[in-house]
Chains A and B, each alone.
Chain A
Amino acid sequence: MMPRNRVLLVLSLCALAMCDFSTILTIAPNRLVAGQPVTFWQMGGGISSAIGAGCLVLLVLSFVPLARYAEYIVLILALAVLLLLLIEVGARATVSVIFGPHGTRVSLGWGFWAIGFCLAMAIVDALQRLKAGTLARLVVFAVVIAGAAIIAFEGLFDGLSIAREYAARRDEFDAALGQHCVLVAIAVLLAVIIGAPLGLYVARQPQRSAGIFGVLNLLQTIPSVALFGILIAPLSALGIGGIGAVPAIIALVLYSLLPVVRNTEAGIAGVDRGVVDAARGMGLTPAQILWRIELPLGMPVFFAGLRIVTVQAIGLTVVAALIGAGGLGSFVFQGIGQYATDLVLLGALPTIALALAADFILALLAGFFARSRS
């Protein structure tokens, strides 16, 4: 018998296997010692069984020829199982913390992440097969976020180690998140202010491009920790101060220049010469050609560069915590110093979420620009 949906077959098989033997949670008596792995079999109970059963139904659905309806069922079922998974780990963590010693730590195991990934992919696959539009995708995304938010609001996640790391540093976290966003925003803005004119210049003077790109490429190859370190001495000598936000922003701008300059240049250079010639023939001035023809036509390529730069800057800002600039990286490095994985995650997961959100928003903006033009 041939499966109807091979992607779903693989995903549901993986999820089912994980349900059987993988580590869903690890429970440790305190934050320092390695935890004991816990599987769904050891947990037992109704919700664990329901999650396993849900994965089994998904496996069956990958064979059933039900045309369009099958995808709706897959979508709803995968969503439901995903939310059940969140509820189950939350509930188990809470119980362990209540009955365990004072320092008890419950961390998410690799099985949780693997099953969650399989279910998320099943949802994405179903959406693709349904040829869902942006709005439908946003609705599904909102359902997942809202579900997780409700579970969190009900306090079900409070027992998880990462939530306890957050609870211990609520104010610090808010400040760090703000610092992170401000650092990235200023750096990207400055990179555009400096890089866009530079890209324009390179597009107009191609003979200079080798030298400029040579320097920018060289900057890109310096390891970030080294660049942050190198900046300390000269800035201190200038009296600006080698620690804090200023050297962080300077380093971030230096890294961001290459994609901005490269994509501005590529955007302008990629404009059809015939269109420019036609514009010139109609009597447009060079400035008019730039503003009305070249910039709008080059905008999609420029936006692609902006996406790269923003996501890259969000990641690099983590390292800036080492030179006193704050941001989410401070949790990552505190966590590494204390061998506290969940404290590292408290810095890393929001960084990933920020990067994904920024990428998504910029993609929407780019789509909006492209559509409004045509």
Chain B
Amino acid sequence: MSRRLGAETLSIRARRAALALALAFLLSLTAALPCVAAGTVVVASKIDTEGALLGNMMVLLLRAHGIAVDNRLQLGPTQIVRQAMLAGQIDLYPEYTGDGAIFFARESDPAWHDAARAYALVKQLDHDTNNIVWLTAAPADNAWAIAVRRDLAQTQKLTSLADFARHANAGGTVELAVSAEFVDSPGALPAFEKAYGFKLARSQLLTLIGGNTAATERAAAEGISGVNAAMAYTTDGALAVLQLQLLADDKHAQTVYQPAPVIRGAVLAQHPEIQGILEPVFRSLTLERLQQLNARIAADGDAPAAVASEYLRANGFLR
């Protein structure tokens, strides 16, 4: 009897030990993660080409000015990066002004279609609600767009979306490669159709599941399933390489997406010089420059850090 009792207490002890061990493990994990030295700035970016480019520029510039940096570039998609920012897990990353429409659920506000007003609005909202500061944005606007094959653009004389509407309404062949999001979100294709007065039938749309612009642009370039037009971003580096013509959005049907460094207020208070370090660089980033730099990463396959460093040196931002 006594032996049995002994065995039972032993197994209870063993179980307790195992439980304690597991708990200790979990605790050490949580403790080990956010341990970043004081004064270090955690720089992140979205998991895309332009995020890698702009993020690397920030890392290089901050380091060159003697600020310690924890590199968390290519962290994840927009929601993840934004949540990390709100939770204080990252300090600085490049974000687009137009994304404020989704962050603050104000998609219907007309301010998003005007660069200056969009910037002022998102800066105000994020500062007041989250103590997050939007530093000076780049003049480039990385908005949603439609690009057509260059041969189609030349034969039909298409340079703007007004031309595209004329072509579509005249019964010209249009086969547009899109993502589901581009078709369904009211700010994207429906906004174009409303502003320029055309309507594409479902049969004229080739929806790529989980499609991004790299896939839609390639579909148009290769003419897969007769596709001759593609959903695109205006700063995509692939457009020129793939012989695609971007159509101008003269009526500003799209939300403006200017990239800007976004920083937590507390971190900016510690390092107020960051504003002055990043401002001239972002001011220099025009649409054409971003397209060229993105192309070097996407088309030539050069390392984002190398492309960023070369640009900063060539323009005198880094010595």
The 8 Å CB contact of A32, one of B8, B33, B299, is B299
**With an 8 A cutoff between CB atoms, is A276 at the interface?**
no
Q: Are A165 and B301 in contact (CB under 8 A)?
A: yes
**With an 8 A cutoff between CB atoms, is B64 at the interface?**
no
Within 8 A of B (CB), among A281-303: 285-288, 290
**With an 8 A cutoff between CB atoms, is A82 at the interface?**
no
The 8 Å CB contact of B30, one of A30, A161, A240, A337, is A240
B contact residues around A324 at 8 Å (CB): 72, 75-76, 80-81, 84
**With an 8 A cutoff between CB atoms, is A169 at the interface?**
yes
Q: Are A338 and B4 in contact (CB under 8 A)?
A: no
Q: Are B10 and A32 in contact (CB under 8 A)?
A: no
Q: Are B303 and A241 in contact (CB under 8 A)?
A: no
The 8 Å CB contact of B214, one of A103, A189, A337, is A337
Q: Are A334 and B301 in contact (CB under 8 A)?
A: no
Inter-chain CA distance A31–B298, complex, in Å, is 7
Q: Are B80 and A102 in contact (CB under 8 A)?
A: no
Inter-chain CA distance A232–B11, complex, in Å, is 36
Closest A-chain residue to B298, C-beta based? A338
A contact residues around B48 at 8 Å (CB): 334, 337
User: A168-B302, A243-B84, A324-B84 in contact; A186/B75 too (CB < 8 A)?
Assistant: no
**With an 8 A cutoff between CB atoms, is A57 at the interface?**
no
Q: Are B29 and A246 in contact (CB under 8 A)?
A: yes
**With an 8 A cutoff between CB atoms, is B22 at the interface?**
yes
Interface locus among A113-121, A190-198, A361-369: A190-198
**With an 8 A cutoff between CB atoms, is A315 at the interface?**
no
Q: Are B47 and A286 in contact (CB under 8 A)?
A: no
A contact residues around B238 at 8 Å (CB): 32
Q: Are B34 and A241 in contact (CB under 8 A)?
A: yes
**With an 8 A cutoff between CB atoms, is B87 at the interface?**
yes
**With an 8 A cutoff between CB atoms, is A321 at the interface?**
yes
Q: Are B18 and A339 in contact (CB under 8 A)?
A: no
User: A31-B301, A286-B4 in contact; A338/B221 too (CB < 8 A)?
Assistant: no
Inter-chain CA distance A273–B278, complex, in Å, is 73
Contact string against A for B residues 62-92, beta-carbon threshold 8 Å, 1 for contact and 0 otherwise: 0000000000101111001101100101000
Inter-chain CA distance A288–B6, complex, in Å, is 12
Inter-chain CA distance A330–B218, complex, in Å, is 22
Q: How far is the CB of B20 from chain A (nearest CB, A)?
A: 10
Closest A-chain residue to B84, C-beta based? A243
Contact string against B for A residues 5-30, beta-carbon threshold 8 Å, 1 for contact and 0 otherwise: 00000000000000000000000001
Inter-chain CA distance A168–B56, complex, in Å, is 14
Inter-chain CA distance A322–B77, complex, in Å, is 7
Q: Are A169 and B303 in contact (CB under 8 A)?
A: yes
Inter-chain CA distance A340–B300, complex, in Å, is 11
**With an 8 A cutoff between CB atoms, is A236 at the interface?**
yes
**With an 8 A cutoff between CB atoms, is B160 at the interface?**
no
Inter-chain CA distance A323–B83, complex, in Å, is 10
Within 8 A of B (CB), among A185-230: 186, 189-190, 193-194, 197
Within 8 A of A (CB), among B178-237: 212, 214-215, 218, 221-222
Inter-chain CA distance A339–B300, complex, in Å, is 13
A contact residues around B30 at 8 Å (CB): 240, 246
**With an 8 A cutoff between CB atoms, is B117 at the interface?**
no
Inter-chain CA distance A186–B21, complex, in Å, is 13
Q: Are A242 and B214 in contact (CB under 8 A)?
A: no
**With an 8 A cutoff between CB atoms, is A142 at the interface?**
no
The 8 Å CB contact of A243, one of B8, B49, B75, is B75
B contact residues around A193 at 8 Å (CB): 18, 21-22, 25
Q: How far is the CB of B235 from chain A (nearest CB, A)?
A: 14
Inter-chain CA distance A353–B41, complex, in Å, is 36
The 8 Å CB contact of B22, one of A33, A190, A236, A240, is A190
Q: Are A337 and B241 in contact (CB under 8 A)?
A: no
User: A30-B299, A190-B25, A322-B77 in contact; A243/B83 too (CB < 8 A)?
Assistant: yes
**With an 8 A cutoff between CB atoms, is A146 at the interface?**
no
User: A241-B34, A243-B84 in contact; A339/B301 too (CB < 8 A)?
Assistant: no
11 CB < 8 A contacts A-B? A30-B301, A32-B238, A33-B218, A33-B221, A161-B301, A164-B301, A168-B302, A193-B18, A246-B33, A290-B11, A337-B212
Partner-A contacts on B (CB < 8 A): 3-4, 6-8, 10-11, 15, 18, 21-22, 25-26, 29-30, 33-34, 47-49, 52, 72, 74-77, 80-81, 83-84, 87, 89, 212, 214-215, 218, 221-222, 238, 241-242, 297-303, 306
